[in-house]
Structure 1
Amino acid sequence: MVLAAGGFSSLVYGLSRLGVGSWIQPAAFIGVGVAMVVAFAVYQVVLQRTDSPLLDLRTLTHRTYALSLVLMSAGFMAFLGSMILLPLYLQTLRGLSELEAGLLVMPGGIVMGLLGPQVGKLYDRFGSRPLVIPGSIGMVVALGLLTRLALDTPFGVVLAIHMVLMICLAMVFTPVFTLGLGDLPPHLYSHGSSLLGTLQQVAGAIGTAALIVVMDNRADSLLAGGADPVDAAMGGLQWAFAGGALIAVVVVVTAVLLPSKVEAPEGVPAAH
C-alpha cells in the first residue's frame, strides 16, 4: 500500500509540475513515482507465489481484460481531464457562477446515469461492438467540438456537446466494464475490479494534470507573444481539449480490438 500510494501520488504530482519553473523537480518526482510503482508490481508478482498479493497481476494475462483496462484508463484520462476544463471555461471566461455552471452540465450527468441500465440491456442483446465503437468515435468528435469553443459560443451549444459526450461515455464504459470482468475466472474477480477501479482514478488524475499543464503552457506561450490575457486563456483551453481528443483516439483503437462478448468460464453464468 505504501509503494502504490507513494508511487502514484508522486507520479501525478510530478506531472502536474511540468512546465512550472525548473524541470528538475518534476522529473525527480516522476522518476520516484515510476520506480515505486515498478517496485509495487514486482512485489505483487513475488506475493503471487503464495497467493497473497494485494492486487493479483495475473489478471493482465487475460487479453480482453487487459484491453478493457487500457480503454477505461484512456477514457478516464480524457473524460475527467476535460470535465475539469469545462467549468474553468464557464466560470473564468464566461462569467457564470458555480451554481450556474453546475446547472449547465447537470443534464449531461443525469442522461449518462439514466442510460446505464438501458445500455446494459442493449449489450446483452447485441454485444459490445455496436455500442463501444460508435460511442468511442462520438467521444473523440465531442471533445474535438469542444476545441472550437469561443467567448461567444451559445450556452445551448455547450450543453448539447456536453450531453453528446455523456451519452457516448455511457455507451463505452458500461459494456467495457462488463466485458473486461467477464473475461476473468471467478477467483480473480475481486482483483480485476480493484485494479480497474484504481487505475480509473489514477488515470483521471494523470489526465487532469497533463491537460492542465498543456493549458497553462499554451496560455503562457500566447501571453509571451503579446496576446490578450483572455484570448491566451481561451487558446490554452482549446489546446487542452485537443489533448483530450487525442487521448480519446486510444479509446477508438482499443474498442476495435475488443470482442463483442466473452464466453463465461464453465459453470459460471455470463456477466450482465
Structure 2
Amino acid sequence: MSSLLICGFVGMFSETALNIAISNLMDVFHISAATAQWLTTGFLLTLGILMPMTGLLLQWFTTRQLFMASLASSIIGTLIAALAVNFEMLMAARVLQAIGMGLLIPLMFNTILIVYSPEKRGAAMGFVGLVIMFAPATGPTVAGLLIEYLSWHYIFWLSLPFLVIGLLVGLKYLENVTEVTKPHIDLLSIVLSTIGFGGVVFGFSKAGEGEAGWSSPIVVQSIVVGMIALVLFALRQIWMREPMMNLRVFRYPMFIVGLLMVLSCMMIILSSMIILPMYLQNGMKLSAFAAGLMLLPGSALNGILSPRMGRLFDKYGPKWLVIPGLFIVAAVLWFFSGITLASSIALIVALHIGLMVGISMVWMPAQTNGLNQLPPELYPHGTAVMNTLQQVAGAIGTAVAVSILTKGMEKYLHESTAPNAPAEMANAMTFGSQNVFFFAMIVTVIGLAVAFFIRRVVVSRTAMSAMH
C-alpha cells in the first residue's frame, strides 16, 4: 500500500501543479490559452478513455504487472516533461503521465478491497483520500514557489525521485493480490467506450474552456456522439455474457447511493476549486502563490482528516458522517455565495476549511460503503465505474462552473455604466463567482436528499469467505 500511495500522491501532485504554470508556459512556448488548455484537457481525455477499460485490465494482468506498467509510463512521462523544450514534447509527456495515473488509481482501490476486510476498509480508503485531496492541495503552492524561484521544469524534477522510490518499494514488497481470469476482450465494447467516454469528457472539457462555450459545433457534436456511443455501449454490456464493464453493479442500491455521493462531491470540489483561485487572483488581485497559500490549510486538513474519517466510518457507519458533512458543505457554500470584495482573507480561509472538512466526511465513507455492497467478483467493475464517472462528473462540473461564471460576468458588465473599469471587472468576477457557489450549493442539497437513503452495508459471510 505504501508504494501505491507514494506513487498516487506524486501523480496527483504533478497533475495539479502544472495548472498554475499554464500562463507561464503560454509565454515560454508562445502558445494561446486554448492550446495550453490541452495540457489539462489531454490529461482528462486520456483518463476518460482508459478508466472504463481498467475493470478488464485488472482481470487480465497481475497486480505487479499493472503496477510496473503504470510506473514505467509515469516515470517516462515525468522525465520527458522535465526535459521538454517545446509544447509537443510536454503534451506527449502529459499523455504518458495520464496513462500511468489511469492504471494506478483503480489498482489502488481494487487492492484495498481485496487486502482489507470490510471492518478495516474505511481507514485504508481514508489514506487514499489523503492522496487524492492533499496532493492536489500542495500542488499549486509548491508549483508557485518553484516557478517563482526556479522554473516550471522543476515541478517534474521534484516528482521524479519519489516515483523511482515508489517503484523500488513496490518491486520489493508488492504482492499479486488479484486473480487473473482473462475474460473475453470485445473490441466493439472498447471502441464504443472510447468514443462514448472520450467524446463526453472532451465535449465538456472544450465547453469549459469558455471561448465559444456550449454553442461551439465541436462541443455539441462531441457530446451528442459520445452520448449515443454510451447508450450503445451500455446495451452491449447488458447483453454480453462477459462484459467489459459489468453494469450489474447498478443492481446494488448502496453502490448507487455511494456513487451519487461521490459524483456530487466531485462536482462540488471541481466547480469550487476552479472558481475560488480565479476569484482570489482576478477579483481580489492576489498573486498565484498567495492564492495557493490561502487554499492550503483547508485542503491539507481534508487530507489529514480522511484517514480519521475512515476509522470513524469503520466504527459508526456512513450515516453519521455523510449527512452532517453535507449540511456543513451546504452551509459553507451558502456563505460563499454571499462573498464580496470586502470579505476578509480570514473568512475565505475559514470557509474553505469548512468546505474541505465537510467533503472529507462525505467522500470516502460514501465510496467505501458503496463498494462494500458489491460481491468480490464485481470489485474491478465497481472501481472502474466509479473512477470513470468521476472523470465525467469532473469535466461536467468544470464546464458548468466556467460557463456560469462567464454568463454571470457578462450579465453584470452588460448592466454596468463603466464595463471596462478595473473595479467593475472585479465586481463582475464576484457576481459570477457567487452564482457558481450557489450552483454548487444546489448540487449539495440534491446530494443531501440522496444521503438520507444511505445505510450501513453488512458484508455477508459468503462474501467474506470468497474474499479470503
Q: Which residue of 1 aligns with 2:432?
A: 236
Asked whether the equivalents of residues 326 and 358 of structure 2 are also in contact (C-alpha less than 8 Å), the reply is: yes
Q: What is the alpha-carbon distance in structure 1 between the residues aligned to residue 232 and residue 293 of structure 2?
A: 44
Q: Which residue of 2 aligns with 1:72?
A: 262
- CA RMSD of the aligned region, Å? 2.1
What percent of counterpart residues are identical? 31
**Structure 1 pair 116–253 and aligned structure 2 pair: CA distance change class (3 A):** same
C-alpha displacement at 1:89, in angstroms? 0.8
Q: What is the alpha-carbon distance in structure 2 between the residues aligned to residue 141 and residue 198 of structure 1?
A: 29
**Structure 1 pair 70–15 and aligned structure 2 pair: CA distance change class (3 A):** farther
1:84-107 CA distances to partner (integer Å, 9 max, x unpaired)? 111001111112211111111111
Q: What is the alpha-carbon distance in structure 2 between the residues aligned to residue 18 and residue 58 of structure 1?
A: 37
Asked whether the equivalents of residues 263 and 393 of structure 2 are also in contact (C-alpha less than 8 Å), the reply is: yes
- Among 161, 166, 181, the alignment partner of 2:356 is 166
C-alpha displacement at 1:187, in angstroms? 0.3
Q: Which residue of 1 aligns with 2:409?
A: 219
**Structure 1 pair 22–109 and aligned structure 2 pair: CA distance change class (3 A):** closer
| 1:33-72 equivalences in 2 (<5 Å) | 33-47=226-240, 49=241, 51=242, 53-72=243-262
1:211-268 CA distances to partner (integer Å, 9 max, x unpaired)? 1101101111111112532212211111111111111112101111111x11113234
- Among 272, 278, 296, the alignment partner of 1:82 is 272
Indicate the SS of the match to 1:257: coil
Asked whether the equivalents of residues 81 and 244 of structure 1 are also in contact (C-alpha less than 8 Å), the reply is: yes
The structure with more radius of gyration = 2
Indicate the SS of the match to 1:31: helix
Indicate the SS of the match to 1:267: helix
1:14-67 CA distances to partner (integer Å, 9 max, x unpaired)? 6437894783624333322211221222222233x2x1x221111011111011
TM-score by length of 2: 0.54
Q: Which residue of 2 aligns with 1:156?
A: 346
Indicate the SS of the match to 1:96: coil
Q: What is the alpha-carbon distance in structure 2 between the residues aligned to residue 60 and residue 90 of structure 1?
A: 41
Asked whether the equivalents of residues 64 and 258 of structure 1 are also in contact (C-alpha less than 8 Å), the reply is: yes
Indicate the SS of the match to 2:236: helix
Asked whether the equivalents of residues 371 and 382 of structure 2 are also in contact (C-alpha less than 8 Å), the reply is: yes
Indicate the SS of the match to 2:254: helix
TM-score by length of 1: 0.91
**Structure 1 pair 111–269 and aligned structure 2 pair: CA distance change class (3 A):** farther
Q: What is the alpha-carbon distance in structure 2 between the residues aligned to residue 22 and residue 16 of structure 1?
A: 8
Q: What is the alpha-carbon distance in structure 2 between the residues aligned to residue 137 and residue 187 of structure 1?
A: 35
Q: What is the alpha-carbon distance in structure 1 between the residues aligned to residue 391 and residue 298 of structure 2?
A: 20
- Among 199, 209, 230, the alignment partner of 2:389 is 199
1:139-170 CA distances to partner (integer Å, 9 max, x unpaired)? 11111111111112111111100001111111
**Structure 1 pair 181–22 and aligned structure 2 pair: CA distance change class (3 A):** closer
Q: What is the alpha-carbon distance in structure 2 between the residues aligned to residue 40 and residue 17 of structure 1?
A: 28
| 1:1-272 equivalences in 2 (<5 Å) | 1-13=193-205, 15-16=207-208, 20=212, 23=215, 25=217, 26-47=219-240, 49=241, 51=242, 53-226=243-416, 228-259=424-455, 261-269=456-464
1:215 partner letter: L
**Structure 1 pair 137–208 and aligned structure 2 pair: CA distance change class (3 A):** same
Q: What is the alpha-carbon distance in structure 2 between the residues aligned to residue 173 and residue 244 of structure 1?
A: 15
**Structure 1 pair 116–269 and aligned structure 2 pair: CA distance change class (3 A):** farther
Asked whether the equivalents of residues 272 and 437 of structure 2 are also in contact (C-alpha less than 8 Å), the reply is: yes
Asked whether the equivalents of residues 205 and 395 of structure 2 are also in contact (C-alpha less than 8 Å), the reply is: no
1:183-226 CA distances to partner (integer Å, 9 max, x unpaired)? 10010011101111111121011111001101101111111112
- Give 5+ residue unaligned stretches, structure 2: 1-192
User: Which consecutive segments of 4 or more residues in structure 1 shift more than 6 A?
Assistant: none
2:460 partner letter: P
**Structure 1 pair 6–204 and aligned structure 2 pair: CA distance change class (3 A):** closer
- How many matched pairs? 267
- Give 5+ residue unaligned stretches, structure 1: none
